[in-house]
Chain A
Amino acid sequence: MIVFEHVGKRYGGRSEALADINFRVGRGEMLFLTGHSGAGKSSLLRLIMRLEKPSRGRVLVAGHDLDRFHLSQIPYYRRQIGVVFQDHQLLFDRSVFANVALPLEIQGVEPRESARRVRAALDKVGLLYRETALPIELSSGERQRIGIARAVVNKPSLLLADEPTGNLDPQLSADIMRLFEDFNRIGTTVMVASHDLALITRLRHRVLRLREGRLVGDEEAA
């Protein structure tokens, strides 16, 4: 699903954010990406989302060399990836329902079909009863779950999450991780960047360890 070949990323004149990264992720796999802040987790995810191009090497996702995309193709590529952000990135001027419906609106899904899928996604994260609420009325754990609902509403084959439990207490974090595992169980490839080592070790999935832009560990699931 994801292939990194000798990938390096350098921002301006600074030292390398990523250096000679090599790994493969199979379809339907679930894995964690860990390391201290600044180790390059976010840079790596940004490369997969094609927000940036690598300075060196190749990134392939689902068989596509991301370097070869024409600018106009990138939006269509991104629609195949669900992304969960640390700060959830919900839009505060519209309801929970409208937030989750956003990816479908962008893809031009019929309103009736869209409503059905939005409700299914909200139901999956256990917040169907909150569909008319505004994001401001929700707790941070609820917001994060809405963010996840939005990421999975168009059934992406790849789900990326950047510190999805960064601001949550251990109980809520475990709930969120369980959600990711559920999506993984139905075939979605899931990649979660997190520095919550205690949680990661408990969950027994493959872990990629980054330190100062280098891949220093690739531990298979126990």
Chain B
Amino acid sequence: MTRRTTSSESQRPARRGARASQVGLESRTRAWLRHHRAMWLDSAQRLAKRPLSSLLTMLAIAIALVLPSGLWLALDSARLLDAELDESATVTVYLDTRLDERAAMDVAARLRDQTPVAGARLVTAAEGLAEFQQGVGLEDALASLEDNPLPAAVVVTPADTDPDAVRVLASNLEAVDGVDEARVDLAWLERLRRLAELGQRLALALAGLFGLGVLLVVGNTIRLAVESRRQEIEVVTLIGATHAFVRRPFLYSGAWYGLGGGVLAIVLLVLGGIGCQRRSPPWPRVTGHTSRCRD
């Protein structure tokens, strides 16, 4: 006497009775598609009938989407998010000024062989001077110097860009013969990294918060729509509408609101992007190599 036997009795409703079985699966599927199409259109028409309130709802959604994604884009264009930051975590190793170019190359080769080093690029004293002149614009002053006051330097890219690992690497490099000083400007690097992290977290938190906001806006709008069509829902339920049938128009209106809000958000972001590009110069790129004047 399990549930199975009772349900297999003839006590079931005649939903597949004489008339229903004539209908068949194919035409039922067609009817289902027809209703989907009808509700898709019907919900769009209902929105179009009240353009202002529909537009306001979509705008609310759009703004809620624009704020976090705008912040994310701003972080991205400030190059705080991409790999550029890691590349900038280099250690500049200043060599002893007494070394000539050959000896400097030897030291550079030795540095390259250190285990946690991904790469090492030699900047000779002459190159350093040229770079310095270009960067600072002190050509006249520097030209008046008899000797090149700059040491040769090796820009070392650590394999591990974790700040602690970089600091350890720097002190190891300093112990190498012919190395005067290994400098890594970790403080600003870390600050930048923290800032990026903060920005990222802020964007995520905002995205979560505003995502919830979007749900509430759409949910509330649909709730009002349901409220205004309560009588209709009651009537169709009384004459045999399934829950899916009743829900369908509201799901489609929600989808329309979401779509409209999304498109508006994209438009706003593109417009904002164009506006920003026109006003502010491109962000300066961060480089790890800093020349240093000695003596």
Contact = CB atoms under 8 A, between A and B. Distances in A.
Contact of A49 (B17, B20, B32, B238): B238
Given A75-B237, A91-B231, A106-B239, 4 more contacts: A68-B7, A77-B15, A103-B239, A107-B240
B239 A79 contact: yes
A111 B10 CA distance: 32
B11 A76 contact: no
Interface in B63-116: none
A111 B11 CA distance: 32
B31 interface: yes
A108 B34 contact: yes
Nearest to A103: B239
A134 to B, nearest CB: 15
Interface in B1-26: 6-7, 10-15, 17, 20, 23
Given A72-B242, A106-B240, A91 B235 contact: yes
B277 interface: no
A75 B240 contact: yes
Contacts of A49: 238
A25 to B, nearest CB: 18
B35 interface: yes
Interface string B228-256: 00011011111111110100000000000
A130 to B, nearest CB: 19
Given A91-B231, A91-B232, A108-B28, A83 B13 contact: no
A68 B235 contact: no
B31 A75 contact: no
Contacts of A89: 231, 234-235, 238
B23 to A, nearest CB: 8
A214 interface: no
Interface of B: 6-7, 10-15, 17, 20, 23, 27-28, 30-32, 34-35, 231-232, 234-243, 245
A76 B10 contact: no
Contacts, number: 76
Contact of A83 (B14, B238, B241, B243): B238
B74 to A, nearest CB: 47
Closest 5 CB pairs between A and B? Answer: A108-B31, A79-B240, A76-B15, A78-B240, A77-B13
B12 A108 contact: no
A32 B27 CA distance: 39
Contacts of B23: 108
Contacts of A103: 239-240
A62 B14 contact: yes
Contact of B35 (A63, A65, A80, A108): A108
Contact of A64 (B11, B28, B242): B11
A63 B11 contact: yes
A154 to B, nearest CB: 9
Contacts of B12: 64, 73
Contacts of A68: 6-7, 11
Contacts of B237: 75
11 contacts: A68-B6, A75-B237, A75-B245, A76-B13, A78-B238, A89-B235, A89-B238, A102-B235, A108-B31, A109-B31, A111-B34
Contacts of A76: 13, 15, 20, 240
B13 A106 contact: no
A105 interface: yes
B238 A73 contact: no
Given A63-B11, A73-B12, A108 B32 contact: yes
Residue from B7, B10, B13, B237 having most chain A Cβ neighbours under 10 A:
B13
A195 interface: no
A150 B235 CA distance: 11
A23 interface: no
A169 interface: no
B240 A110 contact: no
Given A68-B6, A72-B242, A108-B32, A80 B235 contact: no
Residue from B23, B27, B238 having most chain A Cβ neighbours under 10 A:
B238
Contacts of A91: 231-232, 235
Nearest to B23: A108
B11 A105 contact: no
Contacts of A107: 31, 240
A118 to B, nearest CB: 14
A78 B235 contact: no
